[in-house]
Amino acid sequence: MKLEFRKGRREDAAALTELARASKASWGYPAAWQDAWAASLQVAPDYIGRELVRVAMQGHDLVGFYALVRRDGGWMLDHFWVHPAFQGRGAGRAMFEHLTGCVRTKGPGVVLIEADPNAAGFYAHMGAREVGHVPAPVEGDPSRRLPVLEVRVESWP
C-alpha cells in the first residue's frame, strides 16, 4: 500500500485519539475494557509536540499513526494504530517499514513494544522477538498480560 507520511501536528490530536479508539475497538473488546483504556488511547496536543509522531495518509484519508518515545538509548513504541477501514491491506507493514527507517535516521537501537495480544503476531512477522510480558489486568481478567517484544534497528551500512 502506498502511503504518504508526515509529522503529527498538534491539531491532529482529536483525530488521532478517535483513530486509536476505533482501531482498539475493532478487536471486539468489552465496552468496560475500552472505557478503562480511554486515557491510554488519548493523544494530547502537547504529546504530539514533544514525541516523535508520524501520520500515515492516503490522499486525504487518515490511515494510521505511530508514536515513538526515546528511552534508555533506544525507543518505546507508544502508539501504532491503523484505521479499521485500512486493516489487512498492507498499511501496517508500510507504517512499520517507515517507523524503522525513521529510527535508523534519528538514532538506531532497540525499539521496545508492549503489544496488544492481538497485534503481537504482526510485530513478530515484522521481525520483532518476544522478550517477556507485563501485567495488564482488566475487569474480569486480573491475570491478563501483554507480550513485550523488541526489534533491533541498525544504522544504514
Reported as a single tens digit per residue, the pLDDT across 85-121 is 999 999 999 999 999 999 999 999 999 999 999 999 9
- The grid cell for 149 is 517484544
Amino acid in position 130: E
Using a cut of 0.75, tell me whether the model's pTM lies above it: yes
Domains, the chain, in order of start with CATH, read 4-153 (3.40.630.30)
Please report the pLDDT score of residue 157 as a whole number.
53
